[in-house]
């Protein structure tokens, strides 16, 4: 295993992907469960923002919906690639859900800025 594969947890935490539940996470399973739970919350927030965007920009709701379908495919495929990158270690169980949380948070902001209003 090369050295660069040992760094990612600190990188993930420095990217603002830190979840409060990680403070009490001591195992890989705890961390994975933390990110998985956070992803559910962030997906719900994204749905709220999307529904508002559909209303606020109703004349392009179809296009927003199409972009969301493509984005979901990108998010899932990209984060699965990250999972595969760490195929030989337990880091993969943290890397994929943390990737999904990070990208979902970014998507919320993109939708809001582009279709609802300025932050």
Domains of the chain with CATH codes: 28-50+60-119 (1.20.1270.180)
Q: Give the CA diameter of the chain.
A: 51
pTM of the model: 0.80
State residue 18's pLDDT score.
56
What are the backbone angles phi and psi of residue 15, rounded to the nearest 5°?
-85, 5
Q: What is the pLDDT of residues 42-83, one digit of tens each?
A: 999 999 999 999 999 999 999 999 999 999 999 999 999 999
State residue 42's pLDDT score.
96
Are the beta carbons of 39 and 107 closer than 8 angstroms? no
Residue with tokens 């935490």: 13
Give percent of the chain with pLDDT exceeding 70: 82
What are the backbone angles phi and psi of residue 49, rounded to the nearest 5°?
-65, -40
E strand or H helix that includes residue 69? helix 61-85
Two structure tokens written together for 46: 């994204």
């Amino acid at each position: 295993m090369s050295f660069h594969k040992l760094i990612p947890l600190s990188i993930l935490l420095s990217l603002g992907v830190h979840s409060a539940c990680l403070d009490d996470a001591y195992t890989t399973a705890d961390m994975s469960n933390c990110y998985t739970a956070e992803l559910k919350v962030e997906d719900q927030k994204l749905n709220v923002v999307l529904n508002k965007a559909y209303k606020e920009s109703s004349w392009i709701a179809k296009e927003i919906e199409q972009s969301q379908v493509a984005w979901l495919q990108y998010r899932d495929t990209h984060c699965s690639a990250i999972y595969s990158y760490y195929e030989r270690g337990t880091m993969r169980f943290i890397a994929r859900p943390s990737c999904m949380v990070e990208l979902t948070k970014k998507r919320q902001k993109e939708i809001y800025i582009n279709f609802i209003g300025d932050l």
